[in-house]
Copies of this chain bind each other. A is one copy, B any other.
């Protein structure tokens, strides 16, 4: 978060509630020493961890397994200049426990692009931050929603 920049910070529980409302977020990581970002569909585990499902052989898995990543989701209304953004920062790891894999096969996210061999990736919710555009003022005649 960037304090004092005109946005309102959101509490962890509000962040998780908002995250649960959207199907797609963006996983931010490093690839070949450069910043990289990739949209993925996801769901939240009961403890607020972000769950992804992807091909076991994917470059994404190789890039993030064991790394600290950021996962971002947002909803922004360009018409009213209102919206929110939530970022979960934590270690990403492939789910290797067979029982946990079975549980996520039943309850976890489903791939939009299925692969013969898929894995689940879990991002620990070590740091959950969010911001909303603060309302109450107008900009170029447009109201900013609360």
Listed in ascending order, the chain A residues whose CB lies under 8 Å from chain B are 2-3, 5-7, 23-24, 26, 28-30, 34-39, 41, 54-55, 58-60, 68-70, 72, 74, 76, 78, 81, 83, 85, 87, 89, 110-115, 127, 133-134, 139-140, 144
Whether A37 contacts B41 by the Cβ 8 Å rule is no
Q: Which of B69, B85, B133 is within 8 Å of A38, CB to CB?
A: B85
Which residues of chain B are near A34, meaning CB under 8 Å?
A: 68, 70, 89, 127
Task: List the number of copies, as a whole number.
Answer: 2
6 chain-A/chain-B pairs, Cβ below 8 angstroms: A23-B78, A24-B78, A26-B37, A37-B87, A39-B72, A112-B144
Q: How far is the CA of A71 from the CA of B133 in the complex (A)?
A: 20
Q: Is the interface of A mostly helix, strand, loop or mixed?
A: strand
Q: Which of B36, B78, B134 is within 8 Å of A87, CB to CB?
A: B36
Min CB gap A64→B, angstroms: 10
The residue on B at minimum CB distance from A41 is B78
Whether B36 contacts A70 by the Cβ 8 Å rule is yes
Q: Which of B68, B83, B114 is within 8 Å of A39, CB to CB?
A: B83
Q: Which of B29, B58, B81 is within 8 Å of A35, CB to CB?
A: B29
Min CB gap A29→B, angstroms: 7
